[in-house]
Structure 1
């Protein structure tokens, strides 16, 4: 007989306690906040805390929150299920399937090996080449965890083994530590450069739309290209100085990559199709604002072509657990956040906080909000939970204080990627790459603290000026 799943019931304590306290605090709620808005707030906060404590996987927590909302009559079922029809959610699901093609066909590995062959003569060049792989695949890989763990890290692990660098025998600092930590930072940077580079970005886009601010794929790309390029160039060099590898030259990397490419043989038909479809998706995403084609439709088109051509099977799509898990929790969190807005809680909060900041220059307000948003991630183990909990409220406060709406929406949205550069539990890629044992915890926190200041200056400082240049505010 099959045994029951191991549920961490103790971790339900805080979500239930906080949710009940808020639910029962109705006598103390502001008069202008409706009873339904207060109750959805209680369930939403309990769900977010559950996403942090994780008595169940995040999709399970969201499902419990959804069921509770409808069961207690806070929102009718017909309204609640509307979140599952959100096109942003389906864009993520299809993009997950598209990224599956990178791994299944071997196209992602081939690209990585080509980069290593071209730029891998020195350790720093090797780091830049791996960063290039992450950059190239980021636009169509909304799972930054899959990008780091499924495409780039296997190459790093093989390279480190080739140079005799492994945590098992204390030789991780030879080359493995440097490459692993640089890839983590590359993943953070590329996640901020493309709307479709990680799921929380698309959640922010949906939440911004509720505040009547539209962020397009091309607009996001233009906003991120300058701070992103600066970061991609400078960060590996900073890490090289702070955390230098013992091996500076890697003459074996090129022959190793050539040998691995030889084993793979010439590009298969599946890889060629994957390459062509990826290029098509990028072109259509870039042109979507001009030709009127929805970004979600582009993702559906790309996956449909891969299925018609036999690159992906229907089973591949059905077995893409990350996509369907995202469909559940993302739809539910968007539904709850939308209801908070629709029922009046977010507008009330924004107006109240915005009023308290009246008279303060909006530049200072925006700076305070961004710093608070960035550093509060030390309390979160999920970018999704953090964006769900704070993005809409902070955006509302910023707009109420007079911050140009698109500027506020864009900087807060990219902050959702950058604040992953805080802890070893900050995101999926952080958990995977830290878990390899190549980088010690004190080194991880120390270097992230330094690089966090760099990101704040480049993305929020220079980034704001760049957004002004391109007319986004």
Structure 2
């Protein structure tokens, strides 16, 4: 390690040490406060990054396990979402191994426009078409991203070689688009249903599929349409024209020849997976959640010998992600079980006396708080389920319009995930590819959140006034 890395490592390790030795605040058990210290250390490690994410994670968890129950620290490795993300990352290697991803990429390139920006809008359109029926933007990303990643690799843009040529742009856009379509429909991601159920239970506000879409279509539609262009400007690919690439795509298809048996098997299993992700949760007697479909997808690839065990253990990106995310998720879940988030929200409610403040300002403040705490959550569903009830409770004693606040919180449950790469499964899948650095991921995501805020307050609120929502 060089001197700079050593200084960073010492700084990161000091975070949990210092917080650990501060007396626990009133209302928190000492063990819960120690978990907060570990969480802040893990978060600091991800941000400062003195070592690779899995290494700094194992270092912090290893030292912490000497002083507290290791089960609390390691519980995330049994979480179904951690395994799902690892599995779909492994599955992506099948598209590379068989060549099906490259073939699909070549076909799409031949039928796309002549610009890279046009290719970005094609990605957005495909995500938009799938979003009302998929019910999980993480599963949509597993469907869409491998195809566009293969387009990048087809033009010699790889995570460790020419990432900015095309792959970086498509990777970042995959996350931005996924979160934008998730906000557009009530069925765009699973977390939306949690928000809707909390709204009717606590505020007596019913969000139907139609009312959700009516409220989101103008501001959410603008955010969606701007996404490819904004990401293009913020993270412009070196390859801006596709005219020469189309010729290469035609030649590439010719060189690949006839579709192989392995490609045919993968294509059939891929279609079955898409159907499973779209309709599986609706088949009650099977209980086909997105995780179950992911496991079956991988199992079928192994049984049909499209992949083998060497391919599974060789998927370094999947295991890299699993190691740090599993620990991160485990500590965050333990904090939720210990009541930390409820304590934090109660403290915020006690500090903030918003009863005599203008209702729109109250809405803005509560929305800002909801975004600020996103850095503490590695699950969208856990975030909404544990923190939104407190936000709603605080709002009840203020002049904030309940419908306006509910809609903004509902939509920014999705957009807010863009603040980090771990805020939603779709981000983890895209980030695991290695095309975009964590710094760029956070920067571009934060800018997109800021743009969404401007659009919703400057255009969304007047639009909702016109159509009679408030």
Q: TM-score, normalised by structure 2?
A: 0.68
Q: 2:275 aligns with which of 283, 288, 291?
A: 283
Q: Distance in 2 between matches of 1:88 and 1:6?
A: 37
Kindly indicate whether the alpha-carbon contact (under 8 Å) linking 2:172 and 2:436 is maintained by their aligned counterparts in 1: no
Contact 2:105 2:148 in 1 (8 A): no
Q: Which residue of 2 aligns with 1:9?
A: 6
* Distance 1:352-1:122 versus aligned 2 partners, 3 A rule: closer
User: Aligned residue for 1:53?
Assistant: 48
Query: d(CA) in 1 for partners of 2:154 and 2:111?
Result: 15
Q: Residue by residue, what CA displacement relative to the aligned partner does 1:382-416 show, whole Å, maximum 9, x if unpaired?
A: x9x77449984865653443478897476234422
- The 1:88–1:411 alpha-carbon spacing in structure 2 relative to 1, beyond 3 Å, is same
Decide whether the 8 Å contact of 2:116 with 2:239 is kept in 1.
yes
Does the Cα contact within 8 Å between 2:172 and 2:231 map onto a contact in 1?
no
Aligned partners of 1:181, 1:324: CA distance in 2, in Å? 21
Structure 1 stretch displaced more, 344-353 or 362-371? 362-371
In 2, the alpha carbon distance for the partners of 1:83 and 1:235 equals 33
The alpha carbon displacement at 1:142 in A equals 6.3
Task: Give the secondary structure class of the aligned counterpart of 2:152.
Answer: helix
| Structure 1 pair 328–271 and aligned structure 2 pair: CA distance change class (3 A) | same
Contact 1:124 / 1:236 at 8 angstroms: preserved in 2? yes
Q: Which runs of 5+ in 1 are unaligned?
A: 159-166, 168-175, 196-200, 214-218, 378-382, 421-425, 436-440, 468-473
Uncovered stretches (5+) of structure 2, i.e. residues with no partner:
131-136, 183-187, 200-208, 396-401, 422-427, 465-470
The answer for the alignment partner of 1:82 in structure 2 is 75
Instruction: Give 2:256's aligned residue.
Output: 264
- Which residue among 301, 316, 327 is the counterpart of 1:332? 327
CA deviation digits over 1:151-190, x for unaligned, max 9?
A: 34334557xxxxxxxx9xxxxxxxx87x677535522323
Give the Cα separation in 2 of the matches to 1:400 and 1:86: 30
- CA offset digits 1:69-115 (Å, max 9, x no partner): 33113xx2345443221111111121112212122222222222212
Runs ≥4 residues deviating over 6 A = 4-7, 132-138, 141-146, 222-225, 238-249, 403-407, 447-450, 459-467
The 1:79–1:239 alpha-carbon spacing in structure 2 relative to 1, beyond 3 Å, is closer
2:416 aligns with 415
- Which one of the candidate residues 89, 96, 102 is aligned to 2:89? 96
Match of 1:18 in 2: 15
- Residues 83 and 53 of structure 1: CA distance in aligned 2, closer, same or farther (over 3 Å): same
Alignment of 1:74-473 (within 5 A): 76-121=69-114, 124-129=117-122, 140=139, 150-157=149-156, 183=170, 186-192=173-179, 231=223, 233-236=225-228, 251-292=243-284, 293-357=288-352, 358-359=354-355, 367-368=364-365, 371=368, 387-388=377-378, 392=383, 395=388, 398-402=391-395, 408=409, 411-417=412-418, 428=431, 432=435, 453-457=450-454
SS of corresponding position for 1:8: helix
Q: Secondary structure at the match of 1:284?
A: helix
Aligned residue number for residue 203 of structure 2: none
RMSD (Å), alpha carbons = 5.2
Cα 1:285–1:368 shift into 2, 3 Å: farther
2:311 match: secondary structure: helix
CA contact (8 A) 1:115 1:133 kept: no
Contact map agreement 2:8 2:48 (CA 8 A) in 1: yes
Q: Distance in 1 between matches of 2:86 and 2:59?
A: 21
Change (3 A) 1:343 1:452: closer
Structure 1 distance, partners of 2:43, 2:86, is 22
Q: Tell whether 2:69 aligns with 1:68.
A: no
Residue 20 of structure 1, CA deviation: 2.2
Is contact 2:139–2:277 with CA below 8 Å preserved after alignment?
A: no
Whether the aligned pair in 1 keeps the contact of 2:367 and 2:408 (CA below 8 Å) is: no
Change (3 A) 1:114 1:143: closer
Q: 1:291 to 1:136 in 2, by over 3 A?
A: same
Q: How many residues matched?
A: 410
